[in-house]
Amino acid sequence: MDFIARKLKVVKAVALVTYKEWSAYRTHSMVSIFVGPVYFIVQYFIWSAVYSRRTYLNGMELSEMLTYFGVTTLIGYITMDFADWNLQMLVRTGKFLTFAIRPIHHRFFALSQKIGHRILGLFFEFIPCLFIFVFIFKVDLRPASYFWTIISVALAFLMNLYMNYTIGLTAFWLVQATGVRRVYLLLQGIFSGGLIPLVFFPKALQKLLLFLPFQYVSYVPAMVYIGRYTLADVSVPIPHIVGLQAVAVIVTALFSELVYRLSMKRFSGVGA
């Protein structure tokens, strides 16, 4: 219990400092109030035209499609992460040494930072856009199950952190990991379901995506929110897909730890 209490104390302290630090730049977050709805308007007109002569498309109605994009936008605000960029800059400048000698795992520190940063995002991005989607665009954003949705979004929160952090660790080998980061963000943007539901991809690609971690960042929590999951003609009950998402998060966390330990063997602290 003392161990958990100490960890929670660290999370609270780091999250609070991060929240106060980023509060000075809250207008940056508030830009999302305009970006999110504008992106949604574009999707609204595109899919309204696509559905003009049909009721269903790949098993989804227009209302479900609009809900999907509204949900993925909101989930993106909650799971947004810059751990890869922050870690890369610490490695390049040598400032990572100050974290390496602290009695706290840097990834846990990054998690605590993200919690503080996303609490700010909750107030200045998520809630305003939620009201815009519900009261202006009249999108039904009531989750099929609050319980499973909260768990799935929390797992997506962790998955995005672990994946981004692992990408950031490549800086210990490359020093400049910007290229890897850009490629990763491109793949994640396409194959996480943020741009288009994964069921619209060719069946062969859908089968491949079943075994990749990208879907657990956006597509899975969005479908859990809607209340049904299907990919590559495979329908999985919501409790089961959330369980698979949890397993994927654990595997990704273990892989991230392995890469972290390998990277520590290469760290020299030059530039500190």
Asked whether residue 127 is assigned to any structural domain, the reply reads yes
Closest CA to 182 of 164, 194, 160: 164
Alpha carbon 87 to chain centroid distance? 17
Q: How many domains does the chain have?
A: 1
**Residue 201: per-residue pLDDT:** 95
How does pLDDT run across 148-189, given as a tens digit for each residue? 999 999 999 999 999 999 999 999 998 778 889 899 999 999
**Residue 13: per-residue pLDDT:** 92
What is the pTM for the complete model shown?
Answer: 0.93
82 touches 29 (CB < 8 A): no
**Residue 31: per-residue pLDDT:** 74
Average pLDDT over residues 92-119: 89
Instruction: Look up tokens 């269903």; give the residue.
Output: 56
Asked whether residue 69 is assigned to any structural domain, the reply reads yes
Asked whether residue 27 is assigned to any structural domain, the reply reads yes
d(Cα 26, Cα 181) in Å, to the nearest integer?
A: 25
d(Cα 178, Cα 236) in Å, to the nearest integer?
A: 37
- DSSP classification of residue 196: S
**Residue 156: per-residue pLDDT:** 98
Length of the chain: 272
Bridge partner list, 231: 234
Asked whether residue 212 is assigned to any structural domain, the reply reads yes
How does pLDDT run across 21-79, given as a tens digit for each residue? 888 776 766 777 788 888 889 999 999 999 988 888 888 899 999 999 999 999 999 99
How does pLDDT run across 231-255, given as a tens digit for each residue? 999 999 999 999 999 999 999 999 9
Asked whether residue 62 is assigned to any structural domain, the reply reads yes
- Contact partners, residue 5, CB within 8 Å, separation at least 6: none
How does pLDDT run across 183-232, given as a tens digit for each residue? 999 999 999 999 999 999 999 999 999 999 999 999 999 999 999 999 99
Asked whether residue 149 is assigned to any structural domain, the reply reads yes
How does pLDDT run across 106-156, given as a tens digit for each residue? 999 999 999 999 999 899 889 999 999 999 989 989 999 999 999 999 999
Q: What percent of the chain has pLDDT over 70?
A: 96
Asked whether residue 198 is assigned to any structural domain, the reply reads yes
Asked whether residue 272 is assigned to any structural domain, the reply reads no
**Residue 269: per-residue pLDDT:** 59
Q: Extract the runs of DSSP E, i.e. beta strands, from the chain.
A: 229-231, 234-236
Task: Please report which confidence band the pLDDT of residue 272 belongs to, taking 50, 70 and 90 as the band edges.
Answer: very low
Residue type, 60: M
Domain that includes residue 19, residue range: 2-264
